[in-house]
Amino acid sequence: MRVGVLALQGDFALHARALAKCGVEAVEVRKPAELDAVEGLIIPGGESTTLLKLMDAWDFAPAIAKFHGSGKPIFGTCAGLILLAREVESPRQFSLGLIDVGVERNAYGRQRESFEASGVATLDAGPVQLEMVFIRAPRIRRVGPSVQVLAEYAGEPVLARQGRVLVATFHPELTESTTVHRYFCDLVGRTRVAA
């Protein structure tokens, strides 16, 4: 199995390391044509406006939309979630609209207000404890009817899925746990079998 990590900006190397710990080949994706060689895609945290500018320079938006349209899974963390959301506020900005959620950027505060927390996620194997790292994290303010909330923190959704799109407001790659990455890899694996 080969899973791509969008490697334009942000903490893509840590996602690649987490995928390797899951026994999956990680491919750093820097050009749209490289999406053809992977079966799933992670859009990492970073700075969403910077990511958008870099994506625009390489014309990534239509390539990712096509990737999604082909049924391949996508996982967005923090800034990646912002790029995948249907609506973005504080401020409003372009997004791909691939998951029916509304998000508020930097809603947990600035860099110095970053924090770690623990919570419970309901994944395929049942409830599992998660360590969560929030860095300038967005908040999911609206969840569409077909979106499944997989984990919450302080009563708010922090991990959600709609079909083959998975999003997290936190950074699972900054912990030693591979729980969330394994869940995504299982989703990619099931998609391969279905194809």
**pLDDT tens for residues 108-164?**
666 666 789 999 999 987 899 999 999 888 999 999 999 999 999 999 999 999 999
Using alpha carbons, select from 48, 53, 37 the residue that is nearest to residue 5: 37
- Which residues are the active-site residues? 78, 171, 173
Give the CATH number for residue 74.
3.40.50.880
Coil, helix or strand for 42? strand
Mark residue 109 as left, alpha or beta (left: phi above 0; alpha: psi -120 to 50; beta: remaining): left
Answer yes or no: is pLDDT of 104 > 70. Answer: yes
Tell me if the bond preceding 91 is cis, omega within 30° of 0: yes
Average pLDDT (7-21) is 95
Average pLDDT of span 6-16: 94
Q: How far apart are CA 49 and CA 60, in angstroms?
A: 14
What sign does the dihedral 161-135-97-143 (CA atoms) show?
positive
User: In the chain, pLDDT over 90 holds for what percent of residues?
Assistant: 83
Q: How far, in Å, are 53, 74, 89, 96, 108 from residue 67 at the CA level?
A: 20, 9, 25, 12, 31
Record the pTM.
Answer: 0.95
Could you list the residue range(s) of the whole structural domain that residue 156 is in?
A: 2-194
**Hey, what are 175's tokens?**
């912990």
CA distances from 12 to 45, 172, 194 (A): 8, 12, 28
Share of residues in the chain with pLDDT > 70 (%): 95
Quick one: pLDDT at residue 91? 87
- Output the pLDDT for position 90: 87
Q: Given this model, what pLDDT does residue 111 score?
A: 63
Residue-level pLDDT at 126? 85
The model's pLDDT over 41-78, given as tens digits with 9 standing for 90+, comes to: 999 998 888 999 999 999 999 999 999 999 999 999 99
Q: What's the pLDDT tens digit per position in 79-99?
A: 999 999 999 998 899 999 999
Residue among 117, 115, 147 nearest 129 (CA): 117
Average pLDDT estimate for 174-192: 94
Q: List CB contacts of 8: < 8 A, sequence separation 6 or more.
A: 30, 51, 54, 55, 58, 60
Amino acid making up residue 151: A
Q: Note the pLDDT of residue 87.
A: 97
Q: Please count the structural domains in the chain.
A: 1
